[in-house]
């Protein structure tokens, strides 16, 4: 299970990070004004937990929501997650549809 205390926003490398099974899972991003563009999701191959990706994405999205920022998913995997979770669609900027 993913815990909030483990999430790191590495602003220098522009990625959200979490350690899982001794490996680093990350979501790369770029920010512009009040938007965060989520560009790449990297999950280590040895992670067998099927729910890890969903939990990790939800944790990152909740962190972004707490900062009152909009999201622009440019990665197909992340866009798919947003499509399947209505509560995160409200975080899309006006005019952005996925």
> Where do the structural domains in the chain lie, given as residue ranges?
4-89
pLDDT tens-digit readout, 1-29: 566 558 999 999 999 999 988 889 999 99
With a cut of 80, say whether residue 97 has pLDDT above it: no
Q: How far apart are CA 23 and CA 31, in angstroms?
A: 25
Mean confidence (pLDDT) of the chain:
90
Element (H, E) at 52: helix 52-66
What region, left, alpha or beta, does residue 13 occupy, with left being phi > 0 and alpha being psi -120 to 50 degrees?
alpha
CATH match for 4-89 among 3.40.630.30, 3.30.413.10, 1.20.210.10, 1.10.8.350? 3.40.630.30
The model's pLDDT over 80-92, given as tens digits with 9 standing for 90+, comes to 999 999 899 889 8
Strand-strand pairing, 15-20 and 35-42 = unpaired
Task: Tell me the two tokens of residue 41.
Answer: 């999701």
């Amino acid at each position: 299970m993913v815990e909030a205390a483990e999430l790191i926003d590495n602003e220098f490398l522009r990625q959200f990070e979490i350690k899982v099974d001794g490996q680093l899972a990350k979501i790369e991003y770029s920010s512009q004004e009040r938007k965060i563009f989520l560009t790449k999701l990297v999950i280590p191959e040895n992670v067998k937990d099927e729910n890890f990706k969903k939990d990790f994405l939800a944790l990152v999205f909740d962190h972004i929501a707490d900062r009152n920022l909009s999201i622009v998913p440019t990665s197909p995997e992340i866009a798919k997650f947003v499509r399947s979770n209505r509560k995160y669609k409200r975080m899309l900027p006006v005019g952005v549809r996925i």
